[in-house]
Amino acid sequence: MSISLKAKKIILLLGDIALFFGSLSILIYFRFPENFNRNFSLHFIPFSIILPIWLIAFYASSLYEYKILKNNINFLTNLAGTALISTLVSVFIFYFFPLLGITPKTNLFIFIAVFFSLEIIWREIFNLLINRHASENIILIGESQSAKEIEEFIRENPQFGYRLKIRLEDNNLKKHLENLEKNLSEQKIHLIIIPENIKKDLSFVKSIYKRLNLNLEVKSVSEFYEIIFQKVPLSEIKETWFLENLTRRRTVFEITKRFYDFSLALLLLIFLLPLYLLIIIFLKIFSRGPSIYSQKRIGKNEKEFILYKFRSMKVDAEADGQARWALPKDPRLTKIGAILRKTHLDELPQLLNILKGNLSFVGPRPERLEFIKELKELIPYYETRHLIKPGVTGWAQVNYRYGSSVEDAYEKLQYELFYIKNRSFALDLSIILKTLKTVFANPE
């Protein structure tokens, strides 16, 4: 039996929900044994209100990410941070919204202790039962760098539930077909990962067709790479990939997203107006030059627009007219500019860009024309990132480090193509939550 990665995430989520109410039941049973039903009903609705917030905290803390499904240091560290956040949020809600009917003190902390203790046990059970007994046996064929990365990943991450049974490094299809039937039956193979050229080979297709009863799944190296790494391997795709994956119209999605972008940007602009004024005052006091910095960037369909930011660099940062990549600890930053950059407050004026319609909350980060000309010559398909509207944050920003080189741009493009192909409101929400986590938990 094999279970997909998506199904495993759903099982984890449902298990956490069951654990949440199970912990509440344990609390009520031991604290109010004489009147269980009445007290459970009294606590059920208030605790149900904090449940979605807890689940969002779990998601934002990457507790449903495949890489930390097993109980290791990363998992326990993230779980401890989530426990702290969940406790603070729960205390705030219960004590500042008395309409909920209860203000638990001892009970809340007992509940939290029970839940997070059981959570560790639940994750261990999940790893032992689900991952061990619901794994997928794999044949991996291919000699490309992407295939080698897949092999390394599977061997180093057993919690994903993949078992590499057969590894064939060359692309000699004829030789592989001779032993295919024997390998499929003896090794109980569930999934074959192959190069794109083999997947479309007629002899291979006919061979697999004869074994429909085995319920085999066949994926290309690029398809499987995308699943486990959440990015598109540029070295594995051709022009046909773009025609097959990026040509579908998403008119309703784009219109709805524009509505949400505009509404949220307007609300934030009004709400944050005092902060805007405070930053402008500090910039005027501690730094010479204009407070708002404008710069030409390239947006959707490679149209140029003016991007706004609070000025974080010295006025003469590019006095020689030479465009330069921004660096993590850029010497051109002013003292207050370094603070703005570190806290990402320099990005706040981009709410104006969102209102104007040349920027979205989520999308590929817009680059300068000078850099784009260079990157289009050095990176294949780089122009495709301009098929959609750029964003304040994006899939590349929450998955890849701060980068300022051609190699970094290449890596980011792979994440951007994944977003363009899979963009949705759920993915946008995921990116926003992870961005907020990065801003508040790891401002560097």
Determine the pLDDT at residue 5.
Answer: 73
Average pLDDT value for residue range 329-344: 80
High-pLDDT (> 70) share of the chain, %: 87
Strand partners, 297: 305
**DSSP assignment string, 357-415:** TS-EEESPPP--HHHHHHHHHHSTTGGGGGGS--EEE-HHHHHS----SHHHHHHHHHH
Determine the pLDDT at residue 190.
Answer: 84
Average pLDDT value for residue range 74-96: 86
Confidence of residue 175 (pLDDT cuts 50, 70, 90): low
Judged by average pLDDT, the poorest of 116-130, 170-184, 237-251, 427-441 is 170-184
pLDDT per position as a tens digit, 343-368: 889 999 999 999 999 999 999 999 99
Determine the pLDDT at residue 327.
Answer: 62
103-117, 165-179, 183-197, 344-358, range with greatest mean pLDDT: 344-358
pLDDT per position as a tens digit, 372-384: 999 999 999 999 9
Judged by average pLDDT, the poorest of 35-49, 119-133, 373-387 is 119-133
pLDDT per position as a tens digit, 17-26: 999 999 999 9
46-60, 75-89, 125-139, 410-424, range with greatest mean pLDDT: 410-424
| Strand, helix or coil for residue 191 | strand
- Computed over every residue of the chain, the mean pLDDT equals 86
High-pLDDT (> 90) share of the chain, %: 42
Determine the pLDDT at residue 178.
Answer: 66
Give the Cα separation of 23 and 231 in Å (integer): 38
**DSSP assignment string, 100-142:** GS---SHHHHHHHHHHHHHHHHHHHHIIIIIIHHS-EEEEEE-
Determine the pLDDT at residue 326.
Answer: 66
Which domains does the chain possess?
Answer: 5-132 (no CATH), 135-229 (3.40.50.10700), 251-441 (no CATH)
Residue with the larger pLDDT of the pair 310 and 170: 310
Determine the pLDDT at residue 69.
Answer: 63
Determine the pLDDT at residue 146.
Answer: 94
193 Ramachandran zone, left/alpha/beta (phi>0; psi -120 to 50):
beta
pLDDT per position as a tens digit, 251-308: 899 999 999 999 999 999 999 999 999 999 988 888 778 889 899 999 999 999 999 9
Determine the pLDDT at residue 297.
Answer: 95
pLDDT per position as a tens digit, 213-227: 667 888 999 999 999
Which residues 6+ apart lie within 8 Å of 423 measured at CB?
Answer: 250, 253, 362, 388
Average pLDDT value for residue range 117-137: 81
Confidence of residue 171 (pLDDT cuts 50, 70, 90): low
Q: What is the pTM for the complete model shown?
A: 0.84
Confidence of residue 325 (pLDDT cuts 50, 70, 90): low
267 CB burial (10 A radius; 0-12, 13-18, 19+): exposed
Q: Is the pLDDT of residue 315 over 80?
A: no
